Amino acid sequence: MTGSTALQRVSPLWLGLSVGAFLLGLFFVLESVLGRWEVLLSGDHFDPLARVSSGILRDVRITIVHCLLTGYVAGTLLYTLRSGRRTVLTLQDRLDCTREECEKLAATIRFSKRGLLLAGLVGFALAVSLPYVTPPVPQSPWNPSGWSAEVAWHRILGPIMLVLVAWQAYAVVLVSTRLSGIAKRLESIDLFDLSSLAPFTRLGLGNSLLVIGGLSIFSLFSIETGFVLTVLLFGVPIFIVAVIALLFPVRGVRDRIRQKKDAELQTVSAAISARRDSLLAEGPGQQQGAMADLVAYRGLVEAVPEWPFTTSNYVRFVLYMLIPALSWGLGVVAEELIGRALF
Structure pTM?
0.81
User: Per the domain annotation, does 281 fall within a domain?
Assistant: no
Question: How many domains in the chain?
Answer: 1
Give the span between the Cα atoms of 332 and 297, in whole angstroms.
55
User: Per the domain annotation, does 291 fall within a domain?
Assistant: no
Which range in 28-42, 112-126, 263-277, 311-325 is most confidently predicted, on average pLDDT? 112-126
Domain, as residue range, for 66:
3-262+304-342
Chain segment 174-190, per-residue pLDDT in tens? 998 888 888 877 777 88
User: Residue 51's pLDDT band (boundaries 50, 70, 90)?
Assistant: very low
Q: What percent of the chain has pLDDT over 90?
A: 17
User: Per the domain annotation, does 56 fall within a domain?
Assistant: yes
User: Per the domain annotation, does 197 fall within a domain?
Assistant: yes
Average pLDDT rounded to a whole number, residues 258-282: 79
User: Per the domain annotation, does 126 fall within a domain?
Assistant: yes
CA distances 9 to 58, 105, 167, 172, 265, Å, are: 38, 20, 21, 21, 49
- Are 180 and 248 within 8 A, CB to CB? yes
User: Per the domain annotation, does 284 fall within a domain?
Assistant: no
Average pLDDT rounded to a whole number, residues 205-220: 86
- Which one is predicted more confidently, 167 or 276? 167
User: Per the domain annotation, does 163 fall within a domain?
Assistant: yes
Give the span between the Cα atoms of 151 and 60, in whole angstroms.
9
Those residues whose C-beta lies under 8 Å from the C-beta of residue 69, and which sit 6 or more positions away, are 161, 165, 214, 217, 218
